[in-house]
Amino acid sequence: MQLTRGFEQAACIITLLATQDPDFPISSEVIHHRLNGSQTYLRKIMRKLVVAGLVKSVSGNNGGFTIARPAKNISLYDVVQATEGDIHTYPDSGLIDIVFKDFQPVARQGTSVVNSVFSRADSLWEDSLKKQSVYQLISETLGESEIPLINWNETDEKRELLIQRLLHNLH
């Protein structure tokens, strides 16, 4: 199974929100600008994240989006589930039954065995993704135990100063 671009964009959105002070929602314009994609597609992704309870929509003049719960409580599996749905890597289109129609009992057993193998593999993958929180990934990436907050709504110059300070602290 290859995850879609939507998952990658959702992971970036969650990362932006996890590094943003939750008292200051990130505007949809800033998210759109950062992702540099279609606004229509972005709205669909944001809707999925809101419905999944990963992101909150905040209305008003200073509205936008915030992370709905701490990054420590959002796993990669949560983001996959929100954007891709349940994980089923084996398509089971019935091809085994068609190819081996002369051997129906064996074909049905073969289908059952293959489905079982992929179901176990899917479960292992799910379990692995559930163990990886967004917080852990950001923390590991930055080499910091605490995630520094950046106001993504700031002008490019102000934000750049914050990022430079963060990068300097990493080295």
Q: Are 151 and 162 in contact (CB under 8 A)?
A: yes
Residue 162 has pLDDT above 70, yes or no: no
Q: Could you give the number of structural domains in the chain? A: 1
- How far apart are the C-alpha atoms of 19 and 9, rounded to whole Å? 15
- Mean pLDDT of the region 92-112: 92
Residue 169's pLDDT band (boundaries 50, 70, 90)? low
Residue 171's pLDDT band (boundaries 50, 70, 90)? low
pTM: 0.85
Q: In this predicted structure, what is the pLDDT of residue 76?
A: 97
**Tens digits of residue pLDDT in 114-133:** 999 999 999 999 999 999 99
Domain extent at residue 133: 5-170
Residue 9 has pLDDT above 80, yes or no: yes
**Tens digits of residue pLDDT in 152-161:** 888 777 767 7
Q: In this predicted structure, what is the pLDDT of residue 148?
A: 83
CATH of the domain at 102: 1.10.10.10
Q: Are 76 and 15 in contact (CB under 8 A)?
A: no
Q: In this predicted structure, what is the pLDDT of residue 155?
A: 75
- How far apart are the C-alpha atoms of 19 and 152, rounded to whole Å? 9
Secondary structure letter of residue 159 according to DSSP: H
Average pLDDT, the chain: 91
